[in-house]
Amino acid sequence: MMIKGELKLDIFNKNYIFLNANLKNKEDAMDFIAGKASELGISKDKKQTLEDLWGREKEFNTAIDDTLAIPHAKSLSINFPVVLVVKSKNSIDWGGENIKLIISFLTPKYNKENIHLTMLSKISRKLIDDNFKAILNESNDIDVIYELINDALNS
Amino acid sequence: MGGETNMARKLVGLCACTMGLAHTFMAAEALEKAAKEKGYDVKVETQGSDGIKNKLTSDDIAQADIIIHSVAITPEGMDRFEGYEIYEVELRELIKNPKGVLEEIEEDLGFK
């Protein structure tokens, strides 16, 4: 009876959390995100995803503070909406801020399911919570991070 | 009237970013939180990719002591705000330092 979400397209799961990523700079990070999206079947076109992520970034640097960046894209290349969490082993420069924590939203250009967008709005709201961010920044426990994000998405 | 507090004061906001995925909601949350802490009666409309949420009525706007727009696009329903004084605040500024933004506006309005 426990159908947990393997059958539907997950907006978030433990495979979307990447700890200790070996990133040197923002370019690396963007490439990493687009690459993982492609490997996981989230993106059908890595190049396009990367281009759309950069498109957003050039319009508006997505570093929120000195800990967190939120690169995101609405792209024709994206099959279904997801949240990816990437923690960099080293601090990387993100338009002047040194960050280690990256939370990336990827969504299809045209979304049919409003519910997913509402879930993303909930997690966005959580991202201004210092406590929430502190745990994300400090923890390297995949279960802790999963629970935290998943609870926020479903709050 | 020196004894007046923020208790009776109303603050309304409108947040909208280009993609409507993240900044809109972060800014709205930051503003709501900071305004509540200061004792305001607060309502913040978001125009994000999930549509218009928490829509401000003309009464909300008419009764507001402070109106804040934090937008990176031209939002829908701008006619509602015609004739009112609007404080325009950058999304990132509002996300980063909502309390500072409010204090600056309060000072400007002579609340304190």
Mean per-residue pLDDT for A33-45? 97
A-chain residue closest to B23, CA distance? A124
B92 three-state secondary structure: helix
Burial level of A39, CB count in 10 A (0-12/13-18/19+)?
exposed
Mark out the alpha helices in B42-90 (DSSP H runs): 58-63
- Choice among B17, B44, B67, B91 that is catalytic: B17
Q: What pLDDT does residue B5 have?
A: 53
Contacts of A120 in chain B (CB under 8 A): 21-22, 25
Tell whether the model's pLDDT for residue B8 goes beyond 50. yes
Asked whether the beta carbons of B49 and B21 are under 8 A apart, the reply is yes
Whether B33 sits inside 8 A of A128 (CB atoms) is yes
pLDDT tens digits, B11-30: 999 999 998 999 999 999 99
Name which of B21, B92, B95 is nearest A107 (Cβ-Cβ).
B21
Pairwise CB contact (< 8 Å): B30 & A128: yes
Q: Are strands B41-48 and B10-16 parallel, antiparallel or unpaired?
A: parallel
Q: Which two tokens stand for residue B98?
A: 């909502």
Amino acid at site B36: K
Residues comprising chain B, all counted: 112
8 Å CB contact of A121 and B50: yes
Gap between the Cα atoms of A22 and A100, Å rounded:
11
Contacts of B92 in chain A (CB under 8 A): 60, 64
Cα(A77)–Cα(A12) distance, integer angstroms: 18
Type and span of the H or E element at A22: none
Scanning every residue of chain B, which has its alpha carbon at the shortest distance from the alpha carbon of A61?
Answer: B92
Radius of gyration of chain A (CA): 15
Name the minimum distance, in Å, from the CA of B46 to any CA of chain A. Answer: 10
- ipTM of the predicted structure? 0.87
Q: Shortest CB distance from A105 goes to which of B22, B51, B96?
A: B22
Residues with Cβ within 8 Å of A21's Cβ and at least 6 positions away in sequence, in order, are A29, A32, A86, A87, A88, A89
Distance CA B27, CA B17 (A): 9
Which DSSP category does B55 fall into? P
Name the least confident of A17-21, A32-36, A115-119. Answer: A115-119
Residue A107: both structure tokens together:
């969504």
Report DSSP state, residue B72. Answer: S
Residue B1 has pLDDT above 80, yes or no: no
For B53, the closest chain A residue by CA position comes to A118
CA distances from B100 to A155, B38, B89 (A): 28, 12, 11
**Least Cα separation, residue B12 to chain A (angstroms):** 17
Any catalytic annotation for residue B17?
A: yes
Residues B42-71: tens digit of each pLDDT: 999 999 998 999 999 999 999 999 999 999
CA atoms within 13 A on the CB side of A56: 26
Q: Is the per-residue pLDDT at A60 higher than 90?
A: no
Interface residue of A112, A128, A129, A132 to substitute, partner B, most B CBs within 10 Å: A128
C-alpha B10 chain-centroid distance: 10
What's the pLDDT tens digit per position in A7-16?
456 899 999 9
**Looking up tokens 């939370």, which residue turns up?**
A103
What's the mean pLDDT when you consider all of chain A?
Answer: 92
Nearest residue in chain A measured CA to CA from B52:
A118
